[in-house]
Amino acid sequence: MMSHMADANLMEKIVSLCKRRGFIFPGSEIYGGLAGTFDYGPYGVVLKENVERLWLGMFRDGRDDMYGVDAAILMNPKVWEASGHVAGFSDPLVECEKCKRRFRADHLQFKYKKDKNGKILEDQEVWVCENCGTENKKREPRQFNMMFKTHAGAMEDDSATVYLRPETAGGIFTNFKNVVDSLHPKLPFGIAQIGKAFRNEIAPRDFIFRLRELEQMEVEYFIHPLEWEQAFEEWRKMMHLFAEAIGLPQNMVHELEVEAKDRAHYSKRTIDFEFEYPFGRKELWGLAYRTDFDLSAHETNSKVELRYLDEATGEKFTPHVIEPSLGVDRTVLAILASAYREDDMGADVRTYLALAPKIAPMKAMVSPLLKNKPELVAKAREVRAELQKIHPAIAWDDNGNIGKRYRRQDEIGTPFCVTIDFDTLGEKPELKGTVTLRHRDTGEQERLTVAQVAGRIRAAIS
Ligand code: GAP
């Protein structure tokens, strides 16, 4: 088997598989696309939903101290003034003197020019434009706000400006009081939300890694200020458990303690969870201690009190916040990149996705050996219906020969294929009622009863 890290073309292969098998397509493709946008296709959307369902189970529904919201994407612009995003959510930007292409200054490699004797000229720092090759002098970057603006209502003047939210967190902080007033939760408690966020990234790149329209799974966990370190540790462990649950190899996930100068304006401590993507080790998720920055800022700006009264002690204070923030798209990409496998079969290469059965879009595929034999088709339909009692995502595939069907399901990451043949119907009496179960990762096949197959699938996805 080929090691995925050794393959320089891995990203190309993943992008191609995603398109070929209906996982992910370029956004607005028939019009030439729109940079930084992608659409999830039939299998991609199920994979993404499985990731989100698992997250909801672990981060919200499996806990007594968590609540959900689904806030509006368009919010009063004062939200983003208070949160600091209008003033500070910007990237440092430089422009190539020749082709005018813009780049993030913090992504550039600078070098010193040398004179004709090879002596380094320390006052002449330059960067090379990756678009046209021009050597540009290092200059002070300009700040470029990354929020998308639009207008609410009939007027298009500044008074009607609204922003597409740059993080889902905003809709959680603004609902803190609503949740407290309606459900009366006791601290510590958290609010979880999954939803779209928008960032006008200067250089969207690396497939679904850096997008302009992205999806986040975020928790704001409200605590007494003295409890932040303990809560930070708990969520840190939870994020590792989630990485394990979705099948990310533990040795590909790394923690990076973010230095003060690189932290977001609201954070007193941040750990980036980095993943070994094919294009390098990059941020997958973030865990931040946001202090009382947001609730205090919203209280000051809205003039609505956002403090919490501890009825047991009589203490009234502004809760502090621990925020585990997970990008859905980066998670999906990490899953795809770590699951991609190629098996050299001699005559050709077998490609498959070694997805954890829990998140695989299809749990199994059922197939009649021949599609023009009604008795095989009827039995296969019956077996599929039986297996769908365990999970509805049981694919049906009777297209092409059985080898082609297996290869197709391998690329979709379907862990099991179940084939119904004449022995199932009793051609060999001792095999009556049995089917062939094929395993995706090894290609091995075994003869089992339908009840045994059901047991295997149940065990794999539970
Ligand atoms: N509420 C905190 C927050 O938004 P962030 O580090 O800016 O913090 C959190 O973003 C997560 O959202 C990142 O760790 C990443 O998973 C995802 N994310 C951020 N920008 C992204 C982009 N342009 N494309 C895809 N995912 C992105």
Going residue by residue through the chain, which has 462 residues, state the pLDDT in tens, using 9 for 90 and above. 544 445 779 999 999 999 999 999 999 999 999 999 999 999 999 999 999 999 999 999 999 999 999 999 999 999 999 999 999 888 888 989 998 888 888 888 999 988 888 889 888 899 999 889 999 999 888 888 999 999 998 877 777 899 999 999 999 999 999 999 999 999 999 999 999 999 999 889 999 999 999 999 999 999 999 999 999 999 999 999 999 999 999 999 999 999 999 998 889 999 999 999 999 999 999 999 999 999 999 999 999 999 999 999 999 999 999 999 999 999 999 999 999 999 998 889 999 999 999 999 999 999 999 999 999 999 999 999 999 999 999 999 999 999 999 999 999 999 999 999 999 999 999 999 999 999 999 999 999 999 999 999 999 999
User: How far, rounded to the nearest angstrom, does the alpha carbon of residue 337 sit from its chain's CA centroid?
Assistant: 12
**CB 322 near ligand 1, within 6 Å:** no
C-alpha 65 chain-centroid distance: 24
Query: Does the bond joining 26 to the residue before it have cis omega, within 30 degrees of 0?
Result: no
Q: What angle do CA 302, 304, 308 make, to 5 degrees?
A: 130
Nearest residue (CA) to ligand 1, atom 5: 286
- Cα–Cα separations (whole angstroms), residue 77 to 87, 155, 167, 177, 305: 12, 15, 14, 19, 19
H, E, C per residue of 359-425 = CCCCCEEEEECCCCCHHHHHHHHHHHHHHCCCCCCEEECCCCCHHHHHHHHHHHCCCEEEEECHHHH
Strand segments (E) across 224-375: 253-257, 269-277, 280-291, 308-309, 316-317, 320-327, 340-344, 349-353, 364-368
Per-residue pLDDT at 123:
85
Answer yes or no: is the C-beta of 193 below 6 A from any ligand 1 atom: no
Ligand 1 pocket, residue 214 CB under 6 Å: yes
How many Cα atoms sit within 13 Å of 142 on the Cβ side? Answer: 8
Q: How far apart are the CA of 196 and the centre of ligand 1, in A?
A: 11
218 lines ligand 1 (CB under 6 A): yes
Model pLDDT, residue 456 = 97
Rounded to the nearest angstrom, the distance between the alpha carbon of 357 and the centre of ligand 1 is 27
Distance CA 332, CA 248 (A): 10
Here the tokens at position 187 are 């601290």
Alpha-carbon distance 51 to 55, whole Å? 6
* pLDDT score recorded for residue 6: 58
**H or E element, residue 53:** helix 42-56
Is the Cβ atom of 166 under 6 angstroms away from ligand 1?
A: no
Taking the centre of ligand 1 as the mean of its atom positions, its distance from the CA of residue 90, in whole angstroms, is 14
398 lines ligand 1 (CB under 6 A): no
In angstroms and rounded to an integer, the radius of gyration of the C-alpha atoms of the chain is 26
Buried b (16+ CB within 10 A) or exposed e, 233-250: eebbebbeebbebbbbee
Q: Which of 235, 167, 177, 179 is nearest to 67 (CA)?
A: 179
Does any ligand 1 atom lie closer than 6 A to the CB of residue 199? yes
CA distance 430 to 424: 10
The CA distance from 269 to 408, in Å, is 46
Q: Is the pTM of this model over 0.85?
A: yes
DSSP state of 278: T
Q: 22 — alpha (psi -120 to 50), left (phi > 0) or beta? A: left
d(CA 257, CA 269): 8
Whole-angstrom distance, CA of residue 240 vs CA of residue 232: 13
Is 169 close to ligand 1, i.e. is its CB under 6 Å away?
Answer: yes
Contact (Cβ atoms closer than 8 angstroms) between residue 307 and residue 299: yes
Q: Residue 426: left (phi > 0), alpha (psi -120 to 50), or beta? A: left
Alpha carbon 299 to its chain's center:
32
Q: Give me the pLDDT at residue 3, please.
A: 43
